Amino acid sequence: MHELAETTSRIMEYRFLGNAVGDILLTLVIVLIGLMAVRLFQVFIIGRLRKIFEATATTWDDLLVSILETNVIPSLYVIVIWLGLRDFNLRPSIADVVRSIAIVVISLMAIRIVLSVVNHAIRSYWQRPGSDHTAAREKNLNGIVTIVKIVVWILGLIILLDNLGIKVSGFVAGLGITGIAVALAAQAILGDLFSFFVIFFDQPFEVGHNIKVDNFQGEVEHIGLKTTRLRSGDGEQIIISNKNLTDSRVQNFKRMQRRRVVFNLDVDHATPPATLRTLPDLVKSQFARFTDVTFERCHLRQFAEAGLRFEIAYVVETPDFGRHLNIQHETNLGLREDFEKAGIRFAVPPRSVQLRLDGGSGDGPAGPDGDASPRTTGPEKIQKAG
């Protein structure tokens, strides 16, 4: 028994690759215990969380389980093995290789975690209720996600190189100077690019919407990284920079729920007051024929030069422009017929006509009263100048 103990002791003290066999076995036991603990965490804890999160409506908890399984668990395995190997008396070159491998693996897992969170955040915002889920918008979303991935990978690789002991300060400084130069040279392009992000996330309009920007109106055909293309009613294509769109007032007719119309109607000054009092009822009866029209008011608003001006307001309970024109057409015809029956005459703007018997024009020298010739105003009167 004593000999067995001495033999075991000699074996444990025997050095292999500069490390005692006993220390190697102890490290292996510790590493195995660590790996088993990680496995138990994966089976019981993560499995339990998956069952709990499956009953919830949110997707962030599902993302957490996915990150734990695909990124955190492999990183924990690497960390346990790395911590175990750190106790070995390894050559400096081998130790540096092991450390570099661990840093690379953990850094790549961290980059993947950041990408998963950012990608899920962008897509969750895009899939929120009320947003337009179109093929063009999906294409733009994929482009944005690609740009974000490139930026995250560049930043992650810079941090990784710095952790590996590689001097990146000069590279970062050069990258910053280059970025400033590019930003100054491509200021307009970058402005349009950031405006594209604003349009994508804020969604003031979508492909297929009919919008008006300043004096340009048309249907949105394409929203690009730099420009947005409209198709006007006449058929030509209108190209507007994204920055101009975000800096301008945009009217989106696609999202109009109802159309309010206000117009003026002038009648002759000679219309009797009793007849004028019946005019609002005549107008209201015309709009009462339509089930999708809400009549608001009809008032004598102004004593204009041409006649008595009534202001009329009504609401078409649909954004359809064609329906609005049809209602306006039928209403105008009905008002013409009702006015003829009631003896109401539309106002006619006054006119002035000047004639000279000597064949000259009205631009000659002024007469005794300061005019070139006498004048008479009225819709149907002409006075000759002698």
Query: 264-307 pLDDT, tens per residue?
Result: 999 999 899 999 999 999 999 999 999 999 999 999 999 988 89
Q: Which two tokens stand for residue 264?
A: 């003026």
pLDDT given at position 41: 84
pLDDT in tens, 321-338: 889 999 999 999 999 999
Domains within the chain, CATH numbers bracketed: 2-183 (no CATH), 204-252 (2.30.30.60), 259-342 (3.30.70.100)
What pLDDT score does 239 carry?
92
**Residue 332 · residue 341 · CB < 8 Å:** no
From the list 142, 140, 145, 72, the residue with the least C-alpha distance to 112 is 72
Q: 31 Cβ partners below 8 Å, 6+ apart?
A: 80, 81, 84
List, for residues 24-41, the tens digit of each pLDDT value.
677 778 778 888 888 888
Give the pLDDT score at 382. Answer: 45
Local confidence band at 85 (pLDDT 50, 70, 90 cut-offs): confident
Q: What's the CA gap between 295 and 317, in Å, rounded?
A: 11
Q: Please tell me which of 60-69, 86-95, 186-195, 258-267 the model is most confident about, judged by mean pLDDT.
A: 258-267
- Per cent of the chain over pLDDT 70 is 77
Cα angle, residue 333 at apex, residues 330 and 336 outer, rounded to 5°: 150
CA 101-107-112 angle, to 5 degrees, is 130
pLDDT of res. 376:
45
Q: Which residue has the tokens 């004598």?
A: 300
Q: With a cut of 60, say whether residue 179 has pLDDT above it.
A: yes
- AA letter at 60: W
